[in-house]
Amino acid sequence: MYGFEALTFNIHGGYLEAIVRGHRAGLLTAADYNNLCQCETLDDIKMHLSATEYGPYLQNEPSPLHTTTIVEKCTLKLVDDYKHMLCQATEPLSTFLEYITYGHMIDNVVLIVTGTLHERDVQELLEKCHPLGMFDSIATLAVAQNMRELYRLVLVDTPLAPYFSKCITSEDLDDMNIEIMRNTLYKAYLEDFYRFCQKLGGATAEIMSDLLAFEADRRAVNITINSIGTELTRDDRRKLYSNFGLLNLLSVRTLIRFVLSWKNILLISLFLLNYPMERARCLTRHSTKRR
């Protein structure tokens, strides 16, 4: 059907496209941000936001506002909009939309597991989870003692199960393992998402492959920089890299492996690859912060 996408597009996607375009009008503009910069109190922010699409979500909050309430309510709007779209979506759009939440799901799993390791209250942890990445049995994560149990008890029911089967080898849960688990999951997730988008073809594949490649590269750089000075071997490290993206050249990765003054080498390697300038800057800046 490539080339004739537009012919039948409106049957399934017309309404949702209209909604998404409508949401674009609801984004805060530069003028809005300028005004928000001038706010002196949280009430000012609420007052300004009440004129925007966030207004209905904030209007029933009692006056001494907290920053968390504002964030929570604004996220709630995002989640509501997302849920509305998910309800309206048909295949394969609904699957695509679900794929978007898997990233949050991975983060939530990691958050809960880390929290339980440090013996935090589960309810408290649940509040911190991103609402887009919630699944039914998320609270039961706290029961699990090791990776195998984690998989067998909880994750086997979630869409993350196929990704998780790869990191099941490492037995005990500790900080180091959790980070590795997060990155393995992410790698599997990104690759799966990438395959899914390629399968869809058309404009989706074009746009999403670009976006996902950037995400994969960002993670690869992150992993490299954060693993310097840890006992992670280079083979372990290589296992965490996604198998697509612009950085997906072994030579470059080997280069990164010998990093001493990592930032320079990183830039050089990016230039070697003819990496788009804007993105290279983006990547390095991000990595610096993480460091």
Q: Which parts of this chain interact with other proteins (CB under 8 A)?
A: 35, 38-40, 43-44, 47-48, 50-51, 59-63, 122, 136-137, 139-140, 142-143, 152-154, 157
Cis geometry, peptide bond prior to residue 56 (ω within 30 degrees of 0): no
Of 57 and 262, the one with the shorter C-beta distance to other proteins is 57
Residue 146 main-chain phi, psi, to 5 deg: -135, 175
Residues 6+ apart with CB under 8 A from 49: 55, 58, 70, 74
Q: Which CA distances in Å does 53 have to 22, 24, 90? A: 11, 11, 26
Of 73 and 219, the one with the shorter C-beta distance to other proteins is 73
State in angstroms the smallest separation of the CB of 270 from other proteins.
41
State in angstroms the smallest separation of the CB of 163 from other proteins.
19
3-state secondary structure of 146: strand
State in angstroms the smallest separation of the CB of 140 from other proteins.
4
Rounded Cα–Cα distance for residues 225 and 290 (Å): 9
Rounded Cα–Cα distance for residues 85 and 278 (Å): 32
**CB–CB of 99/196 below 8 Å?**
yes
List the Cα angle 267/271/274 in 5-degree steps: 145
**CB–CB of 112/141 below 8 Å?**
yes
Of 143 and 203, the one with the shorter C-beta distance to other proteins is 143
State in angstroms the smallest separation of the CB of 143 from other proteins.
5
Of 39 and 78, the one with the shorter C-beta distance to other proteins is 39
Of 120 and 218, the one with the shorter C-beta distance to other proteins is 120
Of 40 and 91, the one with the shorter C-beta distance to other proteins is 40
State in angstroms the smallest separation of the CB of 22 from other proteins.
20
Rounded Cα–Cα distance for residues 277 and 271 (Å): 8
State in angstroms the smallest separation of the CB of 169 from other proteins.
20
Of 44 and 127, the one with the shorter C-beta distance to other proteins is 44
CA atoms within 13 A on the CB side of 261: 4
State in angstroms the smallest separation of the CB of 44 from other proteins.
4
Hey, how many other C-beta atoms are within 10 angstroms of the C-beta on 83?
A: 13
